[in-house]
Structure 1
C-alpha cells in the first residue's frame, strides 16, 4: 500500500483509511442544511466528519486506502465528494422549497421589502421565508428525519462502497428531477394564498374604478396584507402537511441515489 509514512507504525494504515472514509461524511455535512450553514463553524464540521468516519470504520469493512498522489486516488476522492455532496444537496433542495413559496407569497402580499437574517445561511431573507424555513426545520427534527438521513449516509458505504465508482448519470438525473419536483411543490404551496391575493387585487381594482376618489394604495396594501395573513392562517395546516411531504420525498430521493438503475426498475 503506497501511503505517506508519518512514523505512526502499524496504526498508520488504519488512520489513512478512517480519513478516507471521512471525506464522504465531510462533503455531505458541508452540503446538508443541518450543519452546513454559517451557524456551525468549519472546524466543528471537520471534527464531526472525522467522528463519523471513525464510527463508520467500525461498522463497515475498511477499504484499502488508495495509493497517494495517484490517478486512482484522485478518482476515489472525487467519488466520495460527489456522493456526499449529492446526499446533502437533496436536503438543501428540500429546504429551499418553502423559501421559494414564501417569495411568491411575499411578492404578491407586498412584503418583499420585509427582510430578516436567515439563521441557517446568515444571509438576508424574507420574513415569511424565514418563518417557513423554521417550520420546516421543526418538522424535520420532530419526525426524526435527521436520524433517517444519517442512517442513509451510513448505509451509503454498503450500497456505494468507498473507492468504487458507483455514482453515475442515473443518480444525477434523479437529482435534476427532484429539482423539478421542488419547484412544482413550491408553486402548489403558494398557489392558494396567491389566488386569494389576486382576488383581493381584482376587487380593489373594481372599487377604485367605481370610486376614483379613493386612495388605491391606502386601500389595496392593507387589504392585501390582511387577506394574505388570513389565508396563511387558514392554509397553514395544509402547508404543514405539504412540508412533511417534501421532507419524506427528500429522504426517498436520497435513498434512491444509493440504488442502481436496474435495482430501481426492479
Structure 2
C-alpha cells in the first residue's frame, strides 16, 4: 500500500502552487494579458499552462504546510514578486500613453478622448493609437517571450522563501521619473514644432488684431499638429527599440538578487 507523508505532499504541492502564484500575479498585472479584454478565466488557464511547462526546470521549493502561517507568507511573497514585474512593464507602456496625452494637449485634441477598453479609463485618441501600435510591436518582436524568460530566471535569482527586498520597490518608484523623461523626449520634436506654430499665431494676433485667432488658429493648429504627428511616426520604431531594450534590461536587473 502506498503511503505518503505530509512532507511529500507538501513538497509536491509547493513545486506547483508557489510558482503558479508568481506567474498568475504577473499575468494579472502586466500589459496585454492583464487587461480587461482578456477574461480572468483565460488568464488563469494561461498561468496554469505556463507553470506546468516551467515547473520541472525550477529549483527545489520549500515544503509548504497549508495550515501554517509560513505557507501564507510564501504565497504573499510570490504574489508581490509577480505584481512587481507586471507593474514594471506597465511603466513601459505608460510612456507612450503620457506621450500621446502631451501631444494631444499641444495640438488641441485633448477633448477628443475615448474609453480605453483595456483599462476602462478615458484617454486621448492619440494615446490610444500609440498604445495599440506599441502593443503590436511588443508582440511582433516577442517581448512577451522575453518577459516569461525573465520570470523563469527569477526563480533562481529570487528563490521562493528568500525574502523580497524593499529595494526592488524603491527601484520601481525611481523609474517613474525615467518614464516621464522618456515620454517627453519621445514627443519633444512635436512639442517644439507646435510651440513655434503657437508663437506664430501670437505674432499674427499682435500684427493684425482684427483677425479672429480662435476661428483661424484652432483648426490650423489641429491640422498642423496631425501633420507633425504623422511625420514623427517615421522614427517611432527606433524610439520603441531603444525604450523596449532599456525596459527589458531593467526588468532583468530587477529580477536579480541584491
Alignment TM-score, normalising by the size of structure 1: 0.88
Distance in 1 of aligned mates of 2:110 and 2:70:
50
Matched, 1:242 2:239: yes
Residue in 2 aligned with 1:196? 193
RMSD: 1.9
Distance 1:221 1:69 in 2: 66
The aligned residue for residue 110 of structure 2 is 112
Q: Mapping of 1:39-188 within 5 angstroms?
A: 39-165=37-163, 167-188=164-185
The one-character-per-residue Cα deviations of 1:122-174 (angstroms, maximum 9, x if unpaired) are: 33221000111112112211221111111111111122122321x31332232
Deviation, structure 1 residue 16: 4.9
Alpha-carbon distance between aligned partners in 2 of 1:228 and 1:51, rounded to the nearest angstrom = 46
Q: Which aligned segments of 4 or more residues in structure 1 are displaced greater than 3 angstroms?
A: 10-13
Give yes or no for the alignment of 1:224 onto 2:221: yes
Q: Distance in 1 between matches of 2:31 and 2:245?
A: 16
How far, CA to CA, are the matches of 2:186 and 2:122 in structure 1?
22
Whole-angstrom distance in 1 between the partners of 2:159 and 2:6: 20
- Report the count of equivalent residues: 254
Question: Is contact 2:13–2:64 with CA below 8 Å preserved after alignment?
Answer: no
User: Gapped runs of 5+ residues in structure 2?
Assistant: none
Q: Distance in 2 between matches of 1:170 and 1:130?
A: 33
Inter-partner Cα distance in structure 1 for 2:238 and 2:80: 31
Shift of 1:196: 1.1
Secondary structure at 2:111's aligned position in 1? coil
- Residue 68 (structure 1) shift: 2.0
* 1:77 and 1:163 in contact (8 A); partners too: no
Please list every run of 5 or more consecutive structure 1 residues that lacks an aligned counterpart in the other structure. 4-9, 262-266
Q: Deviations over 1:45-72 (max 9, x none)?
A: 1222122222222121341342223232
Distance (whole Å) between structure 1 residues aligned to residue 140 and residue 106 of structure 2? 31
* Alpha-carbon distance in 1 for matches of 2:153, 2:247: 16
TM-score when scaled to structure 2? 0.91
Measured against aligned partners, the alpha-carbon deviations of 1:174-230 in whole angstroms (never above 9, x if no partner) come to 212221111100111122111111111111111122112211111111221122122
1:65 & 1:36 partners in 2: Cα distance?
Answer: 30
